[in-house]
Chains A and B, each alone.
Chain A
Amino acid sequence: MEDTGSIVAFWLLAALTVGAALGVAAVRDLIRAVVLLITSFLGVAGLYITLSADFVAVAQVLIYAGAISVLILFAIMLTPRAGRDNAETFLQAPGLLLAGLVAFTIAFVSLEADWSVVEREGFEETASVIGEALLSKYVLPFEMASVLLLVSMLGAIVLVRPEGTPEEEE
């Protein structure tokens, strides 16, 4: 990617994403942390667009910025007497050390390794190709994902169901 627009877009979106993620780790209030988390998700969606991954970007906005952040908000709202603060446990110093080491190692390897990069124009259309791949080559993982969604939905319902059978309440 050579043109000025995409370079500026990349740096702005990267700063937005990483800055918002740092904010999620730093702010004291959980609700503000969720808002910053949504900002970070939207920044990642923008980075997907600069990588010409339009389908994944839309899925990111719909599922992460829409559904998962609402689920996290629900988790906060449904635990009203729990603390609202975003503080750390006694593991803060080792966690910071380990996180720094992991990020440094991944970044170092990414910069040093010789990736077989190829010059390629952006993808023309991704949604139709992804759809065909999902229903031909990846049809077994696709079906397993549907079973996984069903099982997790049922599991979530069973876990939080009140005690007693539903028939008694009629």
Chain B
Amino acid sequence: MSVELEHYLVVGALLFGIGIYMALAKRNFVGVLMGIELMFNAVSLTFVAFSRFVDSAEPLSGHVFVVFVITVAAAEAAVALALAVLVYRNRGTIDMDRMNLLKW
């Protein structure tokens, strides 16, 4: 019994599933944001696992990609926070059910 690549991939799949559920079904905007961060984490974990186990000429490319994913996640979190504050200021709520200005 040892830890193989598939173990990490299944953990990543579970994290991604939880993240996609939160992004789809949470009522609070911040909950959706947390789901997106969980999905980023799942993908990064998969990248690092492949980088460790799979045959490649440059095995650390996965790590470089994860560094970029973390950078983009930080930028995304900052902009999403600004959007949340802006929507709250204009509508008094960040309820996903009540963000229906574009609904015909």
Interface of A toward B, CB cutoff 8 Å: 1-2, 6-7, 10, 14, 17-18, 21-22, 24-25, 30, 33-34, 37, 40-41, 44, 47-48, 50-53, 55-56, 59-60, 63-64, 67-68, 71-72, 74-76, 78-79, 81-83, 85-92, 94-96, 98-100, 102-104, 106-107, 110-111, 115-118, 120, 122-123, 126, 129-130, 133-134, 138, 141, 145, 148-149, 152-153, 155-157, 159-160
Partner of A75, one of B12, B30, B54: B30
CB contact list, B63-79 vs A, under 8 A: 63-64, 66-68, 70-79
Considering the complex, give the chain B residue whose CB is closest to the CB of A125. Answer: B60
Q: Are A14 and B11 within 8 A (Cβ)?
A: yes
Q: Are A44 and B44 within 8 A (Cβ)?
A: yes
5 CB contacts below 8 A, A to B, read A24-B22, A34-B34, A72-B37, A95-B25, A118-B55
Query: By CB atoms of chain B within 10 A, which of A86, A96, A122 has the most?
Result: A86
For chain B, what secondary structure do more than half of its interface residues adopt (helix, strand, loop), or is it mixed? helix
For chain A, what secondary structure do more than half of its interface residues adopt (helix, strand, loop), or is it mixed? helix
Count B-side interface residues using an 8 Å CB cutoff.
80
Q: Are A123 and B13 within 8 A (Cβ)?
A: no
Partner of A72, one of B51, B61, B77, B82: B77
Partner of B63, one of A55, A78, A110: A55
Partner of B16, one of A52, A94, A102, A157: A102
Considering the complex, give the chain A residue whose CB is closest to the CB of B93. Answer: A82
A74-B81, A91-B25, A120-B59 are known contacts. Are A53 and B48 too (CB-CB below 8 A)? yes
Q: Are B28 and A85 within 8 A (Cβ)?
A: yes
B87 CB to closest chain A CB (Å) equals 9
Q: Are A110 and B27 within 8 A (Cβ)?
A: no
Residues of B within 8 A of A155 (CB): 79, 82
Q: Are A123 and B24 within 8 A (Cβ)?
A: no
Query: By CB atoms of chain B within 10 A, which of A22, A48, A53, A123 has the most?
Result: A53
Q: Are B27 and A145 within 8 A (Cβ)?
A: no
